[in-house]
Chains A and B, each alone.
Chain A
Amino acid sequence: MKNIVKEIKSKFSNHHDFFIEEELVDKTAIYLIGFNTLIDLPKSKLYVQQIAASSSSVKALFINLSDQIEVDTEQLLKAILEGKLVIVSKDNEENVIVDPIAQNLSRSIEEPKNESAIQASMDAFGEDININIGMIRKRLNTERLCHSSYQVGDLDKRRLSMLYIKGRTPNILIEKVNQQLMQINSDIETIDDLNRQFGKRRLSPVSHLSTTELPIQAIHSLKKNRIVLFMDNYPFALVFPNLIWDMFSIENDRNFPFVLTFMLRIFRVIGAMATVVLPALYVALVSVNPGIFRADLALFVAKSREGIPLSAFLETILMVVIVDLILEAIVRLPKSVGPSITMVGGIILGQAMVEAKLVSNLLVIVITAVVIASSAVVGMQNSLYIRLLKYPILVLASLFGILGVWTGFIFTVIYLASLTSDDIPYLTFKIEQEGDTK
């Protein structure tokens, strides 16, 4: 009955990294089966041989190696794909799934790449989901930290993990998220795929999940009654639900004295407001309502715009788009080319455009302030969506002036207030503790 080995072999005939090694143990031949791209074969072989030396029979060897003995073919196939070593005896009577010595495919714990932490612990999440959860467990020694794991997807079964603190996170929320994760039947490739599972926000710039690279931040979110999700091979913790205050505060701020923390957060709020309102305010004041300037300021602005052929709206939208293009281009470019583009961009924007009288000096100052301000908020996705929000307000401002700026701003706030994730409004500052400790 060689058919198990045959069956497996035929299944993986298209895989050149698939191996079946024959080995003699106790005068019985056994087959080691797996992928050599996932398994360190020589070391694993040595390991099996060592165990075999101390085992009396093949059966004893199998028992010593693992407790997953005598499983059906279906499971064997799955195990092989997951990078396990499958051992089948020649007579096909016994088989076992062994945890082999794996090829090292993930990087070690490194410093955060996307968030820069000042005066903080310097390790960041990595690709391996187990290491990530281990990092949390290491810092949060409590039996109330619960962990449910899922394997979801159609083509590829992706591992997801949900962490929460029992007694902190509301039970209803846990229940709902659990349901939503169980129901996933499509492939989860990106955060947006996962995001879509939490309800319809297809066209919304605001995600249900906020990402963080820092274990401290993830633990803080857990303590603040939220759920933390991990995706296999994704080096971020996904905090659910994403709330507006995430944009302005990180736990690391509190390593400074309270007053400094307060100052940092106020600056971020100012930054977010400035990004949304400042370009619109410029257009409104310069072209629609110059009446509210002081006389000398009005003359100054008029002088700085003298001889500029573009209308205020056109010049602003031109500059804003160019700046957003530059920001995107810098991200795309390799690190060695990036600085030169920054320099060229800076010269073109700051110097040439002003000297060619295409845009006014004042606008360059406004745009620079906006770029700097938009980067003050926490997290790249927040910075991006704030940069998006300024466009509708800009258009309204060019039509209705100051009135347009503030109606636009108010509608933006109304829109943000209308967002909910599992019935928790986006503008909530704190999730009330409802879970019971049992």
Chain B
Amino acid sequence: MRNNNFYKFLIVFMSTISLCGCWDIKDINKRSIPLVMGISKEDDEEYRLTLQIPIPKSNNQISRIVTEKGESVASVLGKIRTNSENAVDFSQIQLIVIQKNLANNQRELRSLIKFLMGSEEIPSRALVAITDDNVDKVLSNINDKLGVNASAIYDYFNKGVGWAPELLNTPIWEVYRSPFLSTKDIAVPAVRAGKDTVLVFEGSEILRKGKLIDRISPEESQFINMFQNKNVKGKIENLGVATVMITNSSVQNKTSMKNKKPQVLSDLNLKINILERKEGTTNNRIRKELERVTEKRFYDLLKQTQSSHTDIFGFGQQFHHLISYHELKDWRNDYYPNLRVNFEVHANME
């Protein structure tokens, strides 16, 4: 009886070994770990895929840039895998840089995002960025800069809102989700290769149902972070008469419907720290000035987005309890252009 059990156990154990596929297991040092993937398309014909792969051998890390062309992204990935010296492990890809001319094509962009999302190897948490530059230039830029780590691009986007309040980070899954949302649009950061730093943040590209609409400036992208209630501390604002640093921020929204028109009462509380001022400027004046500048900037952006029917602030999310599900589908066209936002900034000295 006991012997019998032993053999049963042995058979079960042996069969698990055949299940595990352990002959394909590669140690981490036997894999190439690309961190950044650049995708572009030349002459509307072939996809061009560029990978930044760090070489862990040397002490000051350098990276190599691998480029391959092909008819589809999947086939290019396959080619890279075949030609690479090591097993290529895409699971550490942190950033996918898409060239602007490819992103401009709505159908191409949507199918690309769908592929990236569906691919099991590429993590859906990887960030997306759009560049006007040549993708190769952005990626190879990392090797030209002194004292920059191989993971610099990843670090660039992961500083946190407290350190870089204007910088957006948008993962693939959010881009993938956005065409299915009817009450919120997203912004994708736009970068280019810098002269002294690896990347330069140029603002954000607004995406509406997978279509590039407009580009907004870094100052304006800050509002997107603000309305997602991320604390945008550390932002330095030059008001002409003074320079202030925002040390804390919070937004409170109150929504209501009036005559079938949506209304939002939005209060932005800012805590500020005055860094320098022209002589004779009172605290009160600085506060008023900051409030005026911020409000104007917001209303400009609101007007701009209302005319293009893209709700990048996600105001529509807050009307889910006031508007029925079917009507919400027309939020962008029917309601959002008529949205009235009463935006008030309350600046306080620290």
Contact = CB atoms under 8 A, between A and B. Distances in A.
A120 to B, nearest CB: 45
Given A299-B56, A398-B22, A399-B20, A287 B28 contact: yes
Contacts of B155: 296
B94 A291 contact: no
Contacts of A290: 28, 31, 33, 89, 91-92
A295 B94 contact: yes
A286 B91 CA distance: 13
A307 B56 CA distance: 11
Contacts of A305: 27-29
A290 B28 CA distance: 6
B306 interface: no
B215 to A, nearest CB: 28
A303 B56 CA distance: 5
A233 to B, nearest CB: 35
A312 interface: yes
A311 interface: yes
Interface stretch (B130-138, B146-154, B183-191, B192-200): B146-154
B57 interface: yes
A296 B22 contact: no
Contacts of B94: 295
B29 A298 contact: no
Interface in B29-61: 29, 31, 33, 35, 54, 56-57, 61
Interface in A218-253: none
A287 B150 contact: no
A287 B89 CA distance: 12
A302 B22 contact: no
B28 A296 contact: no
A429 to B, nearest CB: 31
Contact of B25 (A285, A287, A293, A306): A287
Interface string B316-347: 00000000000000000000000000000000
B17 interface: yes
A330 interface: no
Nearest to A298: B92
Contacts of A295: 33, 35, 92, 94, 151, 154
A400 interface: yes
Considering residues B26, B29, B33, B35, which has the most beta carbons from chain A within 10 angstroms of its beta carbon? B29
Interface in A263-301: 285-288, 290-291, 293, 295-296, 298-299, 301
A299 B29 contact: no
A322 interface: no
A298 B20 contact: no
Nearest to B121: A291
A308 interface: yes
B89 A296 contact: no
Nearest to B20: A399
A431 B21 CA distance: 46
A159 B31 CA distance: 64
A299 B153 CA distance: 14
A279 to B, nearest CB: 15
A291 B16 contact: no
Given A291-B92, A291-B123, A302 B35 contact: no
A51 B89 CA distance: 94
B149 A286 contact: no
A200 to B, nearest CB: 10
A396 to B, nearest CB: 9
Given A296-B149, A299-B33, A299-B150, A287 B26 contact: yes
A299 B154 CA distance: 12
Interface in B148-171: 149-151, 154-155
A291 B54 CA distance: 15
A281 to B, nearest CB: 14
Given A295-B92, A298-B92, A306-B57, A287 B27 contact: yes
B147 to A, nearest CB: 15
Considering residues A285, A291, A305, A311, which has the most beta carbons from chain B within 10 angstroms of its beta carbon? A291
Interface of A: 285-288, 290-291, 293, 295-296, 298-299, 301-303, 305-308, 311-312, 398-401
27 contacts: A286-B28, A287-B28, A288-B25, A290-B31, A290-B33, A290-B89, A291-B123, A293-B92, A295-B33, A295-B92, A296-B154, A298-B28, A298-B33, A298-B92, A299-B54, A299-B56, A301-B28, A302-B28, A302-B56, A303-B56, A305-B28, A306-B29, A306-B56, A306-B57, A312-B28, A398-B22, A399-B17
Given A302-B31, A305-B28, 7 more contacts: A287-B25, A287-B27, A290-B92, A295-B92, A302-B28, A311-B27, A312-B27
